[in-house]
Amino acid sequence: MVSPFEVLAVDEDADEEAVERAYRERVKRAHPDQGGSIEEFQLVRRAYRELSERDGNGEESDEEAGTAPADIDLGDDGAAAGPKPARVEFLDYEAVVDYGWSLDDNELFRKAAQADLAPDAYGRLLVQPDESLLEAAERSGFAWPFSCRGGACANCAVYLAEGDLSQPTDHIMPEDLAERGFRLSCNGYPLTDELSVVFNVKQRPELDDLILPPGPFTRR
Ligand code: FES
């Protein structure tokens, strides 16, 4: 496994300033808008985060903490502004069903906010730069559905009401469903600063053919 020093091409005794300088230079080339890839961009952000924590400045502020590829500010001089976490408003599809709401209702999240739902059914969480949406939900203490964790089923599927989520590796989601806003949370990384997602949509009939049978690691 490549070390964060190799990723940023800095010496192991590089000081905070040198790491910052190397990160800003490296992340410009890794940015998807500049010819890089999401995977490379995530790798660079993860390396920077690890080295920042090593230097004792890892208590990442909003300004220091990693951003989604689509939102990084490259500035006039091409320098990358500090990354920050993506903010996600989430809603359980079971609540959508229980209340008779519709996924394409523009007022869906306003209705959810006013419905006095349980904290694990409606709320907000932060996705750090090196986390998938599913990982962020789990770190936040939520048990969102999943099975393979590798893009091969749709147990982890979410519906995007706002914002965008990447699908950077091989995955099973058909194009027509992706165009309608369905994504996989296990390998999806925020591409926008803010997202509104409905999780637990695996019970939607259009996803039936993509679901794997429950396995030992399946939740729900
Ligand atoms: Fe199978 Fe995400 S858990 S695709």
Task: Give the nearest ligand 1 atom to 134 CA.
Answer: 2
- Residue 212 is predicted with a pLDDT of 65
CB-ligand 1 contact for 152 (6 Å cutoff):
yes
CB-ligand 1 contact for 173 (6 Å cutoff):
no
d(CA 218, CA 163): 27
Say if 4-71 and 86-210 have the same CATH topology.
no
Which of 67, 60, 186, 220 minimizes the C-alpha distance to 130? Answer: 67
Size (the chain), residues: 220
Query: For strand 86-92 and strand 194-199, is the pairing parallel, antiparallel, or unpaired?
Result: parallel
- Residue 172 is predicted with a pLDDT of 79
**Residue 135: CA atoms inside 13 Å, Cβ hemisphere, count?**
13
Answer yes or no: CATH 2.120.10.30 is held by domain 86-210: no
Residues with Cβ < 8 Å from 133, sequence gap 6 or more?
Answer: 88, 127, 158, 165, 185, 188, 189, 190, 195, 197
- Residue 109 is predicted with a pLDDT of 98
- Residue 32 is predicted with a pLDDT of 59
The CATH code for residues 4-71 is 1.10.287
- Residue 144 is predicted with a pLDDT of 97
For ligand 1, atom 4, the nearest C-alpha belongs to: 151
Q: Where are the domains of the chain?
A: 4-71, 86-210
Ligand 1, pocket-test mutation among 153, 165, 200, 202, most atoms within 8 A of CB: 153
Which of 86, 83, 87 minimizes the C-alpha distance to 27? Answer: 83
Task: Give the nearest ligand 1 atom to 147 CA.
Answer: 3
**Binned average pLDDT, 10 residues per bin, the chain of 220 residues:** 85 85 76 66 76 57 40 46 83 97 96 96 94 95 92 92 83 87 92 95 87 54
